[in-house]
Amino acid sequence: MNLNQVTLPVDDMDKATEFYRRMGFLQIVDTQHYARFECTEGNSTFSLSLDESEQENASIIYFEHKDLDELVLTLKKKGIEFKQDPTDMRHLWREAILIDPSGNKIKLYWAGENRLHPPWRVERSA
């Protein structure tokens, strides 16, 4: 199987779509209640769904980029604020953290080989 997309709830579609376009994503679907974006690399997409109800979303969406530090500097120049600058993590990834206008947590990261082959990798199936 291949992951098609992840859909994030947003409470203001205009603010949310502007934010993700400013991050560099190409918007490919645009309605009042739903938007979809192509990732800048590969074939993955993600979408936004308008949900104005009070809710807490504990999900985190990860976007991988080899030149993480450079990307973060570029996004900061565009006015995007970060909760955490690029930091080497104990799980062998380098991560930066930001929050979108609807409160969704985003981690930009680079893991290299450790993404699929960390030293503690296991291979279990049914």
pLDDT tens sequence across 59-84: 899 999 999 999 999 999 999 999 99
Taking the domains of the chain in order of start, what are their residue ranges?
5-115
10 Å Cβ neighbour count for 25? 19
- pLDDT for residue 57: 78
Task: Measure the CA–CA gap between 74 and 96, rounded to whole angstroms.
Answer: 13
Task: Measure the CA–CA gap between 94 and 15, rounded to whole angstroms.
Answer: 28
Q: Please provide the size of the chain in residues.
A: 126
Residue whose structure tokens are 């979809």: 36
Q: Are 49 and 10 in contact (CB under 8 A)?
A: yes
**pLDDT one-digit tens code per residue, 2-53:** 778 899 999 999 999 999 999 999 999 999 999 999 999 988 999 999 998 8
Tell me the whole-structure pTM to 2 decimals. 0.89
Q: What are phi and psi of 63, to 5 degrees?
A: -120, 125
CATH of region 5-115, choose from 3.10.180.10, 3.20.20.10, 1.20.120.140, 3.30.70.1050: 3.10.180.10
Q: Is the pLDDT of residue 118 over 80?
A: yes
Task: Measure the CA–CA gap between 103 and 56, rounded to whole angstroms.
Answer: 9
